[in-house]
């Protein structure tokens, strides 16, 4: 590892932290939609793999922390990963503690990074001998994940009943594309399906608008009222361990460690489940929300870092929700990376450690300071200037682009179809985590019926 390369990695990490600080704070930016295209561009332009990895890891850390800021300030989720957190952030905001909630988010993220980097690296190293066994059991594990998340959710029976039909939809489309030659037989369309699920509620609403009766009966709203606190930056509370009490700190760490071991499950699902589990035993509303916020921010980082690193280091094929979604370009970006020749095969153990430490270190330090010092003014600026329509439009454009790149025009409509179904299921109470796990287990699930 020479100095020039380390400097490049550091520069990439700084760049990622700055870009994803802005993207993260913009509400409604889905992690996969914003991480995949830019990583893909870097890989395809021939940037050194180890530099791309540092960029990606820093982007993940920055995006995860900044995503939660709009929840603290306005109760609007910054992305899919922060939707579990909104209720708790609103609880603190109601008590006039929006600033405290931002500090706890930053501290939770810091904790998550601190715990998940060593745990993920060690776990990845110790899993290398079992790589083939894990590859063999990944599919049943995905299904078990979907079932488990269903059983833990509020609408258990609905969620369970939706697993098989939904996997038929996914595989139906894939076989259709293979059959009509839209994509070659060995190409697995994933990213755009993933995005179709995420954007489902928006697609469903758009289709409803085309129905006149529905459109007339849709609930009308008034402009959203947002109260901004004009807090100047006070008390030099930069030490993350002063922001949390012992209980929050312990829960955050424990949750992050568990989050690393459950890398094969959906990050949103794990974050919701563990966060609520740890918070549910506390009565006091402020303390409850604080524990949930610290825990969920830690979990967001832990699930993402472990979900990207462990399959990269130990397996070489995308075998976790994060690897299939946001980190996909690190595994599969033809012609530079293929499933037989990607970062796993190119980078050494030392490369992975360096890229991870530089990426997470720079990412968390920069965003931690920005979050604590400037989060409120940046947030106020974004809310005043950026209309929600522009964000939805941007997201829609990106989904269109990635859908077309995955499998042509047919897939644009395929993704719309997935959006209508997943949007309906989501509205009825099936959470994203269950649908993502179903998406991952679908190829194997349909072969059980031969």
Task: Please report, as ranges, the residues that interact with another protein according to CB under 8 A.
Answer: 27-28, 37-38, 40-41, 44-45, 75-77, 86, 96-100, 201-202, 205-206, 209, 215, 218-231, 335, 380, 383-394, 396-398, 400-401, 404-405
Q: What CA–CA distance (Å, rounded) separates 79 from 144?
A: 26
Smallest gap from Cβ 255 to another protein, in A, equals 25
Cβ atoms of 305 and 357 within 8 Å: the answer is no
Smallest gap from Cβ 383 to another protein, in A, equals 6
CB nearer another protein, residue 213 or residue 389: 389
Smallest gap from Cβ 63 to another protein, in A, equals 16
Smallest gap from Cβ 37 to another protein, in A, equals 6
Q: Which residue has the tokens 């959203």?
A: 224
CB nearer another protein, residue 76 or residue 310: 76
Half-sphere exposure of 184 (CA within 13 A, CB side): 2
Smallest gap from Cβ 387 to another protein, in A, equals 4
In sequence order, which residues have a C-beta less than 8 Å from that of residue 305 and are 6 or more positions away?
Answer: 57, 60, 61, 112, 113, 116, 117, 120, 260, 356, 360
Angle, in degrees to the nearest 10, between helices 191-198 and 432-445: 150
How many CB atoms are located within 10 Å of the residue 160 CB? 16
CB nearer another protein, residue 176 or residue 394: 394
Smallest gap from Cβ 397 to another protein, in A, equals 4
Smallest gap from Cβ 207 to another protein, in A, equals 12
Q: Which residue has the tokens 């807090």?
A: 231
CB nearer another protein, residue 132 or residue 232: 232
Tokens read off for 25: 């704070």
Q: What CA–CA distance (Å, rounded) separates 278 from 145?
A: 20
Q: What CA–CA distance (Å, rounded) separates 384 from 193?
A: 33
CB nearer another protein, residue 16 or residue 362: 16
Q: Cα angle at 324 between 275 and 203, to 5 degrees? A: 80
How many CB atoms are located within 10 Å of the residue 234 CB? 7
CB nearer another protein, residue 148 or residue 399: 399
Smallest gap from Cβ 41 to another protein, in A, equals 5
> Which letter does DSSP use for residue 60 in this model?
H
Q: How far is CA 402 from the centre of its chain?
A: 17
Nearest to 273 by CA among 145, 92, 440: 145
Query: Which residues sit opposite 346 in a β-bridge?
Result: none
CB nearer another protein, residue 2 or residue 234: 234
> Which letter does DSSP use for residue 282 in this model?
-
Q: Output phi, psi for 229, to 5 deg.
A: -90, 130
First to last CA, the chain: 51
Q: What CA–CA distance (Å, rounded) separates 66 from 54?
A: 18
CB nearer another protein, residue 77 or residue 361: 77
Q: What CA–CA distance (Å, rounded) separates 408 from 183?
A: 8
CB nearer another protein, residue 165 or residue 397: 397
CB nearer another protein, residue 6 or residue 206: 206
CB nearer another protein, residue 7 or residue 390: 390
In sequence order, which residues have a C-beta less than 8 Å from that of residue 186 and are 6 or more positions away?
Answer: none
Smallest gap from Cβ 424 to another protein, in A, equals 15
Nearest to 438 by CA among 404, 315, 421, 182: 421
Smallest gap from Cβ 350 to another protein, in A, equals 28
Alpha helices in 244-387 (DSSP H): 246-261, 267-279, 285-310, 321-324, 328-331, 343-346, 349-385
Tokens read off for 184: 């070659």
CB nearer another protein, residue 102 or residue 113: 102
Smallest gap from Cβ 79 to another protein, in A, equals 11
3-state secondary structure of 436: helix
Smallest gap from Cβ 49 to another protein, in A, equals 15
């Amino acid at each position: 590892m020479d100095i020039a390369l380390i400097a490049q990695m550091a520069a990439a990490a700084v760049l990622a932290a700055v870009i994803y600080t802005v993207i993260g704070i913009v509400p409604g930016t889905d992690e996969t939609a914003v991480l995949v295209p830019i990583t893909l561009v870097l890989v395809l332009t021939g940037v050194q793999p180890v530099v791309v990895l540092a960029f990606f890891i820093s982007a993940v850390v920055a995006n995860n922390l900044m995503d939660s800021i709009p929840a603290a300030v306005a109760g609007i989720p910054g992305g899919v990963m922060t939707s579990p957190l909104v209720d708790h952030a609103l609880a603190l905001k109601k008590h006039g503690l929006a600033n405290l909630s931002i500090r706890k988010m930053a501290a939770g993220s810091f904790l998550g990074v601190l715990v998940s980097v060593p745990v993920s690296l060690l776990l990845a190293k110790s899993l290398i001998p079992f790589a083939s066994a894990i590859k063999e059991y990944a599919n049943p594990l995905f299904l078990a994940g979907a079932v488990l998340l269903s059983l833990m959710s509020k609408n258990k029976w609905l969620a369970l009943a939706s697993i098989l039909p939904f996997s038929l939809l996914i595989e139906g489309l894939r076989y259709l594309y293979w059959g009509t030659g839209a994509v070659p037989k060995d190409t697995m369309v994933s990213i755009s399906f993933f995005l179709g699920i995420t954007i489902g509620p928006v697609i469903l609403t758009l289709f409803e608008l085309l129905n006149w009766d529905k459109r007339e009966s849709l609930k009308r709203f008034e402009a959203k009222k947002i109260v901004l606190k004009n807090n100047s930056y006070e008390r030099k509370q930069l030490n993350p361990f002063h922001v949390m009490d012992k209980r929050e700190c312990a829960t955050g760490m424990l949750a992050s460690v568990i989050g690393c071991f459950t890398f094969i499950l959906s990050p949103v699902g794990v974050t919701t489940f563990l966060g609520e589990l740890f918070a549910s035993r506390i009565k006091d509303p402020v303390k409850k929300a604080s524990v949930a916020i610290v825990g969920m921010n830690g979990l967001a980082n832990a699930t993402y870092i472990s979900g990207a690193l462990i399959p990269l280091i130990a397996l070489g094929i995308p075998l976790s929700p994060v690897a299939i979604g946001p980190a996909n370009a690190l595994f599969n970006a033809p012609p530079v990376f293929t499933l037989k020749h990607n970062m796993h095969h190119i980078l050494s153990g030392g490369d992975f450690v360096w890229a991870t430490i530089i990426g997470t270190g720079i990412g968390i330090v920069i965003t931690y300071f920005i979050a604590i010092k400037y989060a409120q003014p940046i947030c106020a600026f974004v809310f005043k200037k950026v209309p929600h329509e522009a964000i939805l439009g941007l997201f829609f454009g990106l989904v269109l682009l990635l859908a077309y790149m995955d499998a042509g025009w047919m897939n644009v409509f395929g993704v719309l179809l997935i959006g209508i179904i997943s949007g309906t299921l989501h509205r009825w109470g099936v959470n994203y985590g269950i649908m993502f796990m179903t998406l991952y287990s679908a190829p194997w699930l349909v072969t059980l019926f031969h």
